[in-house]
Each structure stands twice: as C-alpha cells, then as structure tokens.
Structure 1
C-alpha cells in the first residue's frame, strides 16, 4: 500500500544564491536574487541562506527537500547548486552568471562592492532569467518529491502574498528530533505525518509501524539496515503523540 503524504504549506520556490565574494559575478547573484525576492516575484519565492544551509540549518534544508529550488551561481564552480544537491536534492533549475553573460555577449563585469555598468546589466539579465524560471516551475502541477520532477497540469491560482522577501526558515515545514539507537536524528515532516495518522483514527500498533516507516522515508533518508530500528522508534514516538505525552528516552 502506498504511503499517504501529508498536506504541506503552499508551494514556493527557493532561491539559493552564491555567497562568493572574490568575483563580481558573486555580487551579481546576490543582487539578482534580492530583486526577485523583493520586486519581481515576492509572493512566490523565499531565500535559502547558503552559509546556513552548509552549516546544517534545518529550516533551509527542509524547504529544499520539499520544494523546488533555483541555484544561482556566479561561476562554473556551481557552489550553490552542488551544495543543494548534496544536502537536499538536485535543484529544479540552475543559473550561472558567467554562462548567461557570455550567451548575451556581455563582458567586462567588475566591482565586487560596486558593480560597473556591465555588472548592473548582468543583474538585470540574471534576475529576469530567475523570474522566468520561477514562473515555469509554478505553472506546473507540482514538484514530485519522489521522482524529482514535475507533473504536467498547472495548479489553481494562489492568493497574493505580502511584498517582502522571506526566508525558508519560516516556510512552515515542521521537523522533529528523535533518538534512534542512541543518535539524535532530525526527521522532516514528522509532526504532520503524526497529525494525519491521528486524524485518520489510526491507533498505534505493530501493523502501523511499517506504514509510519514508509511515509517517513518519502521525506528522509533511512539506511536500509536500520529499517527495524527506525520503525520501532517511530512507533514509540507516535504512541507518545497519540497519548499526548513525552516519549521515554
């Protein structure tokens, strides 16, 4: 039986911008991302802080695993794209400033702190391209977390959101820490999964342990040789949730 998937907050697109400060193209990525977040697509995007993402920021990594992201890199090193793929999943789209500029015949980008005219033009081009990609991603029916691809049909229009840049840390994707075989593990979406099962009237049982495991596996990597340990831990945590008390540690 296929595991049911809990309802999640309204889909947005995460923007992961390069944090490099050694070249002008790094400045271009940050200014372009800010323009998309605050001016071009404020209600449809959130920022994902790359340094916090690399340091293990739970909110940023959780968002990037649930929703499509656009990596905006300054050069061919593709630090933002590689970090996203390593810690959450392959970005839904990528923009590389050096490639975009070269394709438009734009050269001579200078100014790490204050961009020259070519650099400002690169900001315009990059922001415009990112906004186009946001539109393409949100016109699809949905980001399939299992396949890493999109469904075909467009979604219903969502209500307008306030015009302000927002961070993925506040995107509303819940996580929960549990102790598994002596290790503290952060599981994405676990509170929503528990709520869905309780609303369905499914009481804790040995039979439910397998369903819990398969549902949690949709959003979290589980080592193949630890299925039994995870299943029993999840059942223990759910039993505590069902009974409205803290589980024994």
Structure 2
C-alpha cells in the first residue's frame, strides 16, 4: 500500500463545529487531495478496530477537531497514531471571524459554515503536500 495521509475529524454530534470538521475532512479527501488522503471512522478507532489501528500506525495523520477538547486527536493517539498536524475549527474561526456559522443550523451547514470548512481544508491541503513531499 502506498503512503497516504489519514484524516480524522471529530464527530461532534449536534455541534456546529463538529459538522464543520467533518465537512472539512470530506473536502480535503474528496475534492482537494483525492487518492492521497483517506478517512478513518472515529467509532472504529475508539473501539480498537485492528484495520483502522494499522492505518493510523503506518501513515501520517491529520486531525480536525471542532473544539479544544480534541477528541479526534485523543482517539488517534490512543490507537497508536501520532498526529503530525492537528487543527481545531475554533482556531481557524478566530482568524476568519466573518465565517461564524449559524449555531442553530445543525443538520446542514449554512454558507458561512461551508466557507469555514473550505478554509480548514485548504490549510490542511498544504500540509498534505508537505507530508507527501510534493
């Protein structure tokens, strides 16, 4: 298997920043760096799934957390992975305050939330290039 970058986002159910984190991971893996970035499943990691554990042990990892609790990072570390890059949506939002998503809109992101997810993904795409030495 060729080296890929593993991206793990938080789940953050019913949390707008968790939704932004998941969308950013999808944008990174499916739109910006397809074939170079793969997802992991947070519940599989948390339950010690051997295939998921092997994936994070053998590849560089990026975590995208919604908040300072950094649940995605913690699960990756507990599973034997070492996050090379870790970002929180809140940190990116501090630099882009105009992109504050509507908190009450939890099933789908509004336009600002989508733009915030794009900013997170764009920042991480640069890191992916560096990690894969492109």
Q: Name the TM-score, length of structure 1 as normaliser.
A: 0.51
Which residue number in structure 1 is paired with residue 74 of structure 2? 82
Runs of 5+ unmatched residues, structure 2 = none
Which residue number in structure 1 is paired with residue 35 of structure 2? 43
Matched position secondary structure for 1:92: strand
Larger radius of gyration: 1
Q: C-alpha offsets along residues 12-64 of structure 1, whole Å, 9 cap, x if unaligned?
A: 00010111112111111111111111111011111111111101111111111
Which residue number in structure 2 is paired with residue 146 of structure 1? none
Which of these residues, 8, 14, 18, is aligned with residue 16 of structure 1?
Answer: 8
Q: What pairs up with 1:63-102 in 2 under 5 angstroms?
A: 63-102=55-94
Q: Which structure exhibits the higher relative contact order, with contacts defined as CA atoms closer than 8 Å and separated by 6 or more residues?
A: 2
Matched position secondary structure for 1:88: coil
Q: Note the C-alpha offset of 1:115.
A: 1.5
1:120 aligns with 2:114: yes
Query: Residue 99 of structure 2 contacts residue 116 of structure 2 at CA under 8 Å; is this kept in 1?
Result: no
Matched position secondary structure for 1:30: helix
Q: Note the C-alpha offset of 1:85.
A: 1.1
4+ runs deviating over 2 angstroms: 104-108
Question: Partners in 2 of 1:106 and 1:50 — Cα distance?
Answer: 30
Which residue number in structure 2 is paired with residue 137 of structure 1? 131
Q: Note the C-alpha offset of 1:89.
A: 2.9
Which residue number in structure 2 is paired with residue 106 of structure 1? 98
Task: Name the structure where helix makes up a greater proportion of residues.
Answer: 2
Q: Note the C-alpha offset of 1:122.
A: 0.7
Question: Partners in 1 of 2:14 and 2:132 — Cα distance?
Answer: 33
Aligned Cα RMSD in Å?
Answer: 1.4
Q: Name the TM-score, length of structure 2 as normaliser.
A: 0.91
